[in-house]
Chains A and B, each alone.
Chain A
Amino acid sequence: MNEIATPSPAALDVPRAPALRRYGVPVLVFAAFALAPIAAAQGAEGYILSLLTRVMIFAIAAMSLDLILGYGALVSFGHAAFLGIGAYAVGILASHGIESALVQLLAALGASALFALVTGAISMRTKGVYFIMITLAFGQMLYFLATSLSAYGGDDGLTLPSRSLLFGANLLKGDHAFYYAVLGCLLGCYLLCRSVVASRFGRVLRGAKENAVRMQAIGFAPYRFQLGAYVLAGTLCGLAGFLLANQTEFVSPAYMTWQRSGELIVVVVLGGLASLHGAIIGAAAFLLLEEVLSGYTEHWKMIFGPLLVLVVLYARGGILGMMGGRHG
């Protein structure tokens, strides 16, 4: 019918950016986190370790949000709810004497997944602004539920007796041990998300973001894939909540305010949407800027706000975009 020769199978391989461009930034980021404790040993070690641990925990939360926001265009304004669920799973179980990390973690992940499944199935029936509003509403519901849990501290939250126990021992007690445990979780999340995004599942999710009608016209029901991604994202954010409770040894409704949900969006946009490691860079930039700026003034957001506006206006790809280190 036409004279186009069928190309050899080798020609089917899509050309990629050089390995350095593709993997350079993530490898650097993880190497920096792996080596940071050594540098921190020079001074103010406890402070630096705790700040970086916080960065990594927020990076997990933001990365999970990037999965649905960056790759699915689902603007969830209630993502902090999962931080709260993960944290309260630890707090509530610990207050009943169940301190096993394994049990707490399973509860945190299971509860997060279930909440994501139920609220996602409902929220996903709406689009655009309505989706934003309904996820916000579910987040707020959970926030007020937490403040009313007087048995678990209500507004004031509750203090944990200790960090979760691994094999019955307090292995996560040391700051270094906990730091590397969190780093391991961050790396695990990153590799999982990377894989998901490139997988058959992730390709449908990305396709539905570009053109949902086209996806339906080739036989996909985008809803199922978006809901699946929502559940995965919620579950990973539940892990971040589990870690957050353990770091602070404290659980409170403040973990799931709508402002926190907004901050997670800011972190993802700041770092660079739909890149995954951009969420790590965004979390680092956000928390370090907060740390530095709030040293000058308690109204640090007055400085941060305009900075964010500049990033959104002039660096569409976020910090990663400015560094030229993005890849598809």
Chain B
Amino acid sequence: MADAILRLEGLRKAYGALKVTDDVTLDVRPGELHAIIGPNGAGKTTLIHQVSGLAASDSGRILFDSADVTRLTMAQRVHRGLARSFQITSILPGFSALENVALAVQARSGSSFRLFGDASRERGLNEEAMSYLAQVGLGHRAIIPSGQLSHGEKRGLELAIALATRPMLLLLDEPLAGTGHEESERVVETLRGLKGRYTIVLIEHDMNAVFSLADRVSVLVYGRVIATGRPDEVRANPEVRAAYLGEEAA
């Protein structure tokens, strides 16, 4: 246990007859960037939902930082250091980029039942939020209503919000989804900067990004983990080639 910050044990989830997560057992080691790849519909997002607490698991256990968090709410898991981003951008479009991040800082500060004082002018919250925006290269866009940011900027904002929860573990669901070439370069650079400072579970379809960033890779097919290992091991794995990478190479 000591060598895993996150351990999934026999995790299952079905939607009707469809087994979306099928007996997933997986260790994520402290400090590593662990990529999870798999074809469309393999159940990657569902797995992240289960680990983050957005979706309940049918059976199995989720151990995080030596504690069983299987029954905790998403908010409780966040307070323990488990943060996530969303494949489909999930921000507060009517709030400025700064306030999106400042709210995450506020959530950590523990006193949100204050009825007085203008929260949007709290320097302490804003300055810390600003540092996270700067990390993803959005410092100059802080006061723009986040709904008006470009798609790539919104992806960056998702990251900044997750960072602002001061996580131990980041669950990133396709941070590159829908970004153009230049934008995706920028996000990959940002991820490279985060690597080592946080433990990261990265779901990504962009194989260049995955194989250049990941310390280890797990392959999910039809809800099952068919392989886990170093990128070169996984790439050489015949089962993986047949099930997944083969079609990529074609």
Contacts and interface: CB of A to CB of B under 8 A. Distances in A.
A5 B54 CA distance: 36
B241 interface: no
A189 to B, nearest CB: 13
Contacts of A218: 78, 103-104, 107, 161, 164-165
B140 A203 contact: no
A220 B100 CA distance: 13
B107 A6 contact: no
Greatest chain A CB density within 10 A among B79, B113, B131, B164 is at B113
A306 interface: no
A225 interface: yes
Interface stretch (A7-15, A87-95, A288-296, A311-319): A7-15
Given A4-B139, A211-B91, A218-B161, A204 B75 contact: no
A20 to B, nearest CB: 19
Interface string A1-36: 110111101011111000000000000000000000
Contact of B115 (A196, A216, A221): A196
B189 A1 contact: yes
A197 to B, nearest CB: 10
A316 B75 CA distance: 34
Contacts of B95: 206-207, 210
B119 A203 contact: yes
A4 B140 contact: yes
B115 A217 contact: no
Nearest to A204: B112
A219 B75 contact: yes
Greatest chain B CB density within 10 A among A9, A200, A228 is at A200
B75 A7 contact: no
Contact of A219 (B54, B90, B108, B131): B108
Given A210-B95, A211-B92, A4 B137 contact: yes
B99 interface: yes
Interface residues of A, number: 38
A219 B118 contact: no
B126 interface: yes
Contacts of A322: none
B94 A12 contact: no
A217 B90 contact: yes
Contacts of A202: 115, 119
Contacts of A12: 98, 123, 126-127, 130, 142
Nearest to A2: B137
A202 B91 CA distance: 17
Interface of B: 52, 54, 73-75, 78-79, 83-84, 86, 90-96, 98-99, 103-104, 106-108, 111-123, 126-127, 130-131, 134-135, 137-140, 142-143, 161, 164-165, 189-190, 193
Given A2-B137, A6-B131, 7 more contacts: A1-B135, A7-B139, A202-B115, A213-B54, A219-B79, A219-B107, A228-B113
11 contacts: A6-B134, A6-B139, A9-B126, A9-B127, A198-B119, A198-B120, A200-B117, A201-B115, A217-B84, A217-B86, A220-B112
